[in-house]
């Protein structure tokens, strides 16, 4: 039974350890988007592919 308790404790602890990096990513995302929009050039917008209709 000790193994089950230790496993539950470990899975309870994992979200606590993952929270700080997630907060950093959420905080940095708007800065990255603003930087990308301010850049001149870069990738051209994707054109929509024509829909190919096969034989019926």
Judge whether 7 and 1 are in contact, CB under 8 Å: no
- The more confidently predicted of residues 41 and 32 is 32
pLDDT band at 56 (very low <50, low <70, confident <90, very high): low
pLDDT number for residue 50: 66
Whole-angstrom distance, CA of residue 42 vs CA of residue 36: 9
pLDDT number for residue 49: 66
Q: With a threshold of 0.75, does the pTM exceed it?
A: no
Q: What is the pLDDT of residues 1-13, one digit of tens each?
A: 578 888 888 888 8
3-state secondary structure string across 1-54: CHHHHHHHHHHHHHHHHHHHHHHHHHHHHHHHHHHHHHCCCCCCCCCCCCCCCC
Residue 18 pLDDT more than 80?
Answer: yes
Whole-angstrom distance, CA of residue 51 vs CA of residue 56: 14
- The more confidently predicted of residues 40 and 19 is 19
């Amino acid at each position: 039974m000790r193994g089950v308790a230790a496993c539950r404790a470990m899975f309870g602890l994992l979200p606590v350890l993952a929270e700080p990096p997630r907060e950093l990513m959420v905080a940095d995302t708007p800065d990255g988007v603003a930087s990308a929009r301010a850049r001149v050039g870069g990738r051209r917008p994707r054109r929509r592919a024509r829909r190919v209709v096969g034989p019926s």
